[in-house]
Amino acid sequence: MRKEFSRVLTDDFNGVRIQYQGDRVQAIFHLPKDKEEAIARKAVEASAGLQSSMETTLKEKLPEAKDLHVAIGVDAGLTLVSRLGTRGARDPICLGRAVQSAARIEEAVDGQETGVSSAVHSALSEEHQELFTWRATAQAYVASALAVDKLERATGAAKMFAPTGSVYVHTVAGVTTVSSEVIRGARTVAASKPYGR
């Protein structure tokens, strides 16, 4: 399981696996630099990848893991990464408030749940924000069963129902014409938010 999770984080999502802490794997996403939304999206995508891996891939290969589930905590912020210890026995470690917050969130959510901090939630696009609900007991936004397919459906639906901008409505002699191109004398109507979202 550790090897699978490490591969998901590093190979599939280009994260950096820092360390294992018992049954917890710790990873960071720091690229692209100064792009909070892209980093938050990548962390949430990796979380969905871990959930999918646990619920599908690992359970197919390890039937004895059928009752195991993954709880995930995500936060963003200034983080110090170092190797500490004595010579020849140094371990990588992450330090910072965001690290502690992510660990606290992970402990406050249940298996098959992903919890994200307010900072991460606010950096996400609207279609991804809608997958999470605020949970006061966890002090985080929580999504249940957030697997890759669910995340892809949310992203696909957002693209499918994205407003295309203004349309132009013109009526002459009882005939109404609606067009995305400018019509002289037409009134402009801004596209509203689709019902499906």
Domain chopping of the chain, boundaries = 2-160, 164-197
Q: Maximum CA pair distance of the chain?
A: 88
Distance of CA 144 to the CA centre of its chain: 12
Range 145-157 average pLDDT: 84
Instruction: Give pLDDT tens digits for 98-108.
Output: 999 999 999 99
106 touches 65 (CB < 8 A) = no
Instruction: Give pLDDT tens digits for 59-84.
Output: 999 999 999 999 999 999 999 999 88
* Superfamily name and number for 2-160: Nucleotide cyclase, GGDEF domain (3.30.70.1230)
Q: What pLDDT was estimated at residue 92? A: 87
Q: What pLDDT was estimated at residue 102? A: 96
Give the whole-number percent of the chain exceeding pLDDT 70: 89
Q: What is the DSSP string of 23-76?
A: TEEEEE---STT-HHHHHHHHHHHHHHHHHIIIIIIHHH-GGGTT---EEEE--
pTM of the model: 0.76
Q: Quick one: pLDDT band at residue 197, thresholds 50, 70, 90?
A: very low
Q: What pLDDT was estimated at residue 160? A: 45
